[in-house]
Amino acid sequence: MVKFQDNTVRDGMQQHNVNKNFRTKLSIFELIGQSNVDSVEIGMCASEDDYMMICEEAKKLSKHQEVVVLTRLVKQDIDITARLKKKVNQLTIKLLVPISDLHIEKKLGLTRESMKSKLEKCLNYLQQLNIRTDICFEDATRANKLYFMEVLQLCNKYPVHLVTIADTVGCMVPEEFGAYIREIKLNGYNFGISVHCHNDLGLATANSIAGVLNGAEQVETTFLGIGERAGNTSIEEVSYILYKKYGIESNINFKEIILLANKISEILEFPITATKPIIGDNVFIHESGIHQDGMMKDCNMYQFVQPEEFGTQIKPLDHNISGISSSKILSNKVSKEFGNLDDTKDIVNFYRKAAKIINHITLEEACDLYKFIHLLQTT
C-alpha cells in the first residue's frame, strides 16, 4: 500500500497562467476533499493572514485527510503553525530544509553546519510541542551525499514521521533516483520516505515509481501534473501505473479521478492536453482504420488502459471516422446509420475524397452532402 499526498494548490498552482485567487483555492480544496488522497500539503504558514486562510481551506477537506503545513526553520513560523492544532484535524508540520550547497550557501547565505544546527533546534522545539513532524529536504538530489546522510542521522534521533526526498529541479533519471532511495532505506531509519519529483526531463512519474519500488512509502503529486516549470508528478498517472503494472494498491479511486481532474482543469482554466495519459480526450479514441478494425474484434487489441476502469462512458469507437479508415468499417457505419443504401460504396468513396479537403468532416455530414449534390444533379 502506497500513500498519496496532494500538492495541487501549494506547489501545483505555482504553474504559470492558472487562476491563483483564494476562492479558486477553496474550490480546489473542496474537490480534493472528495478524493481519497491520504494527506494534503495545504500551504505555508508564516503570518496571521496565512493562519486565517489555512483555517478556512482546511474546512474544505475530509476529516480523514491529514493536513500538512510547510514551515520554514523559523520559530515564529512554527509557533503560528502550531496554533492550527486547535483548528485542524490531523495536523502535521513539515519543515522545509534546503539541503544542497547551492541552496544553503547562495540562497540562504549559511554553512552546512549552521543549517544543521537550525534544523536541530527546530526538531527539539517541535518535540516539546508534541506535534507530528515531517521534513522536506529541498534539492536533495543535488546535495552532498555524505553531508545529507549526516543530517538524516540527526533526524533519526527525533520522532520524525516522514522525510521527503525532493528532486526539486527534476535532474535525476529513474536508475539514479531509485538507487538513491534504496541507499537511504538500507540505513534502517525510523522515519518513512516520501518522494517529490519534478518533470523537467519528463521523468517525474518514472522517478516516483522508481522511488516506490525502492522503498518509498508516499508519493507527492498534483492533479493534472501541474506545477512550476514543467510540472510535478501526476497523480492520475503514477497511481494507476503502480496498481496496473506492479499491483501496488492505494486509496485512490480510479473511477473518480478523471471527473475530478476535469473539474479542476475547468476551475483553474488550465486545459488538459488531448494526448495526456489517462485523462486526455484522445486516450480512448482510435482514428486509424486498422486500429478501429482491431478494436471491433477485441477491445484489448490497441488499448491497454480501459475506459471502464475509470468509470467513463467513452467508447473506443464513439468518434468521427477518419478518411483513411477501412472500407468495411465505413460501409458498416453507413448501413447502420442510414439503412442499406444502394449507393453505399459511392458514399464511402465520396467521404474519403471530402475528408482530404474538408477538415473534421463527419461521415454523417458527408452523407448529407452527397445526398444534396445528388439531388441537385437530378433536378
**What pLDDT is attached to residue 23?**
95
- Residue 13 resides in a domain: yes
Closest CA to 91 of 120, 113, 58, 122: 58
Structural domain boundaries enclosing 340? 327-378
Mean pLDDT of 356-372: 79
**What pLDDT is attached to residue 325?**
54
Residues 6+ apart with CB under 8 A from 284: 303, 305, 307, 312, 314, 315, 316
DSSP bridge pairs for 68: 41, 92
Distance CA 184, CA 188 (A): 8
> pLDDT tens-digit profile of 5-32?
999 999 999 998 888 899 999 999 999 9
Residue predicted with more confidence, 346 or 327: 346
Q: What is the pTM of this model?
A: 0.88
- Residue 286 resides in a domain: no
- Domain boundary (268, 283, 304) is at 268
- Residue 195 resides in a domain: yes
Mean pLDDT of the chain: 91
Mean pLDDT of 312-319: 58
- Domain boundary (226, 246, 268) is at 268
Confidence of residue 338 (pLDDT cuts 50, 70, 90): low
Do 263 and 331 lie in one domain? The reply is no
> pLDDT tens-digit profile of 111-122?
999 999 999 999
- Domain boundary (268, 295, 310) is at 268
- Residue 279 resides in a domain: no
C-alpha to C-alpha distances, 278 to 110, 164, 285, nearest whole angstrom: 44, 26, 12
C-alpha to C-alpha distances, 307 to 90, 280, 313, nearest whole angstrom: 35, 12, 7
**What pLDDT is attached to residue 293?**
73
**What pLDDT is attached to residue 175?**
98
**What pLDDT is attached to residue 322?**
54
Confidence of residue 94 (pLDDT cuts 50, 70, 90): very high
- Residue 186 resides in a domain: yes
Q: Assess whether pLDDT exceeds 60 at residue 369.
A: yes
Q: Are 31 and 260 in contact (CB under 8 A)?
A: yes
Q: Assess whether pLDDT exceeds 90 at residue 376.
A: no
CATH code of the domain covering residue 192:
3.20.20.70
Mean pLDDT of 121-135: 97
Give the chain's domain count: 2
Q: Among 215-224, 275-284, 345-354, where is mean pLDDT lowest?
A: 345-354
Mean pLDDT of 45-61: 96
- Residue 352 resides in a domain: yes
> pLDDT tens-digit profile of 211-265?
999 999 999 999 999 999 999 999 999 999 999 999 999 999 999 999 999 999 9
Do 331 and 263 lie in one domain? The reply is no
